[in-house]
């Protein structure tokens, strides 16, 4: 178990190109594997979670060319019905996206497979996916009636259902959209609050029988998907740590290039601007995913409120926003974020414990927290709780210290999403 020490205070200055987007990298492998023909991608995120997805499809007979460190992958697609039964259970490490979305694909196959993962993943709730897939006709077994992995799924003859995505979960939605490609009749998903829409964009580009109708997403049985040749945009969830660091430290100046600007992912920018941040965005590409440039100048921020409707567009960025709120002027409130309690760890608890150790004032709520800003932070020892976003948020907190250093224990988890984070932090901090 490794630890990292980050001294403070510090500024962020320079130019940063984020690693490939994690959500899009997962889906790139999935759609490439299910397409008819060869797909190729550049700027693929070579983090443990995405590599878990890659290895899962290799285990099911998909040939994937990947040279470590190149960011390039070539996937020799086998079509929607060309996957083969793996020789053993599929291990997905810490990746909730891999497990939840993959279940939707497996629901349409003609073989049985067991999905498992590390202790964190096997403690995360899965019934949100398994229950609707069972209604579609999949046979699923797991602990607590299919709520926890290991989960065994046997595909079957599926039928379309109407589903209200009240959790505003992109993982649940994506699983059902994939299952709908194999189902008789229409699979209809209603979203009153939009979650990230990367799967929908892939479906449209791949030529699937898919459409949007108001609040409804409608998918029908599809025979073929077109292959892809694309550059994966930079991950705004990875860039969020340095964007927020620059925004909340006076004297900082940061330019982020080639970053995903999909509006379902940019809630962080909207909240920081509401807090008084100086941020300018420029869109340089619109299809298939908006991407562009973000420029940030540091200044003193003020507190704000984040409500349930905003959560889906910044769910992964809430830990780093808590850090900014701890030192901003005035009080902040986060509500409607109970989903944070069932991530890789309980992120509400992990951030409250760690920031309070450094001198912040965070009060936990069942669905969020109250943050009394204006804190003067000092050095101390914190732990990641095994969660990559908690670990990276605490490293950024060190830049706001009055004095001292932050010792972060158990930092191996950062490799699940951003293996080069600490190298980039050392390069950008002044």
Q: Which of 21, 118, 235, 316 is catalytic?
A: 316
Residue 249: CB atoms within 10 Å: 26
Q: Is 235 a catalytic residue?
A: no
Give 362's contacts (C-beta < 8 A, 6+ positions apart). 322, 326, 351, 352, 355, 356, 369, 370, 371, 372
Distance, CA of 204 to CA of 389 (rounded, Å): 31
- CA dist., res. 174 & res. 170, Å (int): 6
Rounded Cα gap, residues 107 and 139, in angstroms: 8
Instruction: Note whether 299 and 252 are within 8 A (CB).
Output: no
From the list 351, 326, 356, the residue with the least C-alpha distance to 337 is 351
Bridge partners, 66 (sequence order): 73
Instruction: Of 191, 29, 41, give the one whose Cα is nearest residue 105.
Output: 29
Task: Return the active site residues.
Answer: 316
């Amino acid at each position: 178990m490794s630890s990292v020490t980050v001294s403070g205070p510090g500024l962020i200055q320079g130019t940063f190109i984020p690693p490939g987007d994690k959500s899009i990298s997962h889906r790139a492998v999935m759609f490439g594997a299910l397409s008819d023909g060869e797909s190729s991608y550049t700027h693929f995120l070579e983090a443990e979670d995405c590599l878990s997805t890659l290895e899962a499809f290799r285990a099911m007979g998909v040939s994937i060319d990947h040279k470590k460190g190149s960011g390039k992958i070539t996937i020799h697609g086998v079509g929607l019905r060309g996957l083969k039964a793996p020789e053993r259970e599929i291990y997905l490490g810490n990746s909730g996206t891999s497990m939840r979305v993959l279940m939707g694909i497996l629901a349409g196959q003609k073989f049985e497979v067991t999905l498992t993962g590390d202790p964190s993943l096997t403690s995360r709730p899965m019934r949100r996916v398994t229950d609707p897939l069972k209604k579609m006709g999949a046979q699923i077994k797991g602990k607590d009636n299919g709520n926890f992995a290991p989960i065994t799924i046997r595909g079957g003859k599926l039928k379309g259902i109407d589903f209200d995505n009240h959790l505003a979960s992109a993982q649940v939605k994506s699983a059902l959209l994939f299952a709908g490609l194999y189902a008789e009749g229409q699979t209809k998903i209603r979203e009153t609050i939009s979650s990230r829409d990367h799967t929908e964009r892939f479906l449209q580009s791949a030529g699937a029988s898919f459409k949007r109708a108001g609040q409804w997403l409608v998918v029908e049985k599809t025979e073929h998907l077109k292959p892809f040749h694309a550059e994966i945009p930079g991950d705004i969830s990875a860039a969020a740590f340095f964007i927020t660091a620059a925004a909340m430290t006076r004297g900082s100046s940061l330019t982020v290039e080639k970053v995903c600007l999909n509006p379902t992912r940019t809630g962080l920018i909207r909240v920081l601007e509401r807090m008084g941040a100086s941020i300018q965005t420029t869109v340089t590409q619109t299809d298939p995913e908006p991407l562009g440039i973000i420029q940030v100048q540091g200044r003193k921020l003020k507190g704000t409120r984040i409500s349930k409707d905003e959560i889906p567009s910044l769910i992964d960025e809430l830990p780093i926003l808590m850090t900014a709120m701890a030192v901003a002027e005035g009080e902040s409130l986060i509500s409607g974020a109970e989903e944070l309690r069932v991530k890789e760890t309980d992120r509400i608890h992990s951030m409250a414990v760690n920031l309070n150790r450094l001198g912040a004032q965070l009060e936990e709520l069942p669905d969020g927290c109250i943050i009394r800003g204006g804190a003067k932070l000092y050095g101390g020892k914190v732990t990641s709780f095994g969660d990559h976003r908690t670990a990276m948020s605490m490293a950024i907190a060190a830049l706001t210290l009055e004095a001292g250093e932050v010792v972060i224990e158990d930092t191996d988890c950062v490799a699940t999403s951003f293996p080069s984070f600490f190298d980039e932090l050392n390069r950008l901090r002044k």
